[in-house]
Amino acid sequence: MTTTLRPTGPETRSPLGGRGRDYAICVNGRSVGGVGLRVAPGDVGVLINLAVDEPDRGRGRGTIAVLAAEEILRSWGCRRAELSVLPERSPQPERAIRWIAGLGYVPAARNMVKQLPDTAPQLPAGTVGRAMTAEEYPVWLAEESAGYVALLVGAGMTPDEARAKSAADHAAMLGRGLDTPDTVISRLTVDGVPVGALWINTSETDRRPPWVYDVLVDEAYRGRGHGRSLMLLAEGLTLAAGQHRLGLNVHAGNTPAERLYESLGYRTTRWVLGKPLL
């Protein structure tokens, strides 16, 4: 039997260079599932909605579909492929992750979400959050941007690509700086001394709940529990905005952060795995 991908509609293009197409997974012309391919401006292709119908599972259909999808992404100029495992769609996410890992994909990140309590958590004695000042903002932005560039380079981008994406993303998300709607950028102080910074968006969209974009403890004050205090501050600010869920992204290998978020009650809603397309 021959497993192939068959387009189910025309390829879509965006003015900024994105593209996408949906495919049926077919065995001798019979549809047994589907997968979608999406590429944002750049060179990372994403497989979405990968599914094989129950009667055809366990027969290698999904494996062949992923490999065929990778060939399409290569023809589109992609240097990396990513796909996600969603616990709500996969009753056995660990098994799905092992299968994907067997195809050469490695964990890249995971999204985590927490249902917040009705009342704001208490910060440790002497610890206070306050709005970031206009004088502090350029220094914080430069440090936050540098950290983001380093993460992108670690994920496979060239330094020039990473700097360009960082500039574009920050322009889109912080177009009005400290006055950007639904954006809260705060400083954490202990006995009046600034020890860290927090960036969150308090709006909820169809794609995500209110979101923690950055938690940064100043280097001289790391290892003292201030990361936990910043997260408690984030939860309090989210509740003050009338929201009761908070999400975040943690990159694979950041074990201290993963343990912190788990201890605070955050639960994984999506695993992201990636693979270079050589």
Residue 38 lies in a domain: yes
Residue 213 Rama label (left phi>0; alpha psi -120 to 50; beta)? alpha
- Specify the pLDDT at position 15: 83
| Residue 175, domain member (yes or no) | yes
Residues 121 and 233 in one domain: yes
How many angstroms separate the CA atoms of 168 and 160, rounded? Answer: 12
Residues comprising the chain, all counted: 278
136 and 228 share one domain: yes
Q: Is residue 264 part of a domain?
A: no
Q: What per-residue confidence (pLDDT) applies to 154?
A: 78
User: Could you list the pLDDT tens digit for every one of the 278 residues in the chain?
Assistant: 688 999 999 999 988 778 999 999 999 989 999 999 999 767 889 999 999 999 998 899 999 999 999 999 999 999 899 999 998 887 788 999 999 999 999 999 999 999 999 999 999 999 999 999 999 999 999 999 999 999 888 776 788 888 988 998 999 999 999 999 999 999 999 999 999 999 999 999 988 999 999 999 999 999 999 999 999 999 999 999 999 999 999 988 889 999 999 999 999 999 999 999 97
Q: Is residue 276 part of a domain?
A: no
Q: Is residue 145 part of a domain?
A: yes
In a domain, residue 255? The reply is: no
121 and 196 in one domain? yes
Single residue among 58, 73, 108 that ends a domain in this structure: 108
Domain stops at, among 87, 108, 129: 108
Token pair, residue 261, equals 């978020």
250 is a domain residue: no
Asked whether residue 102 falls in the same domain as residue 173, the answer is no
| 136 and 103 belong to one structural domain | no
Q: Which of 202, 193, 187, 257 is nearest to 235 (CA)?
A: 202
Task: Measure Cα distances from 176 to 172, 180, 183 in Å.
Answer: 9, 5, 10
Whether 79 and 151 map to the same domain: the answer is: no
DSSP string, 76-102: TT-SEEEEEE-TTT-S-HHHHHHHHHT
* 271 within domain boundaries: no
Contacts of 152 (CB under 8 A, 6+ apart): 161, 162, 165, 166
The verdict on 237 and 121 lying in the same domain is: yes
Same domain, 93 and 156: no
What does the block give as tokens for 64?
């062949």
Residues 172 and 220 in one domain: yes
Q: Residue 15: which CATH number?
A: 3.40.630.30
Same domain, 163 and 74: no
- Answer with the one of 64, 79, 108 that is the final residue of a domain: 108
Residues 104 and 131 in one domain: no
Which structural domain, as residue segments, surrounds residue 208? 117-243
- The domain tally of the chain equals 2
> What is the pLDDT at residue 254?
87
- 138 shares a domain with 72: no
CA distance 215 to 226: 10
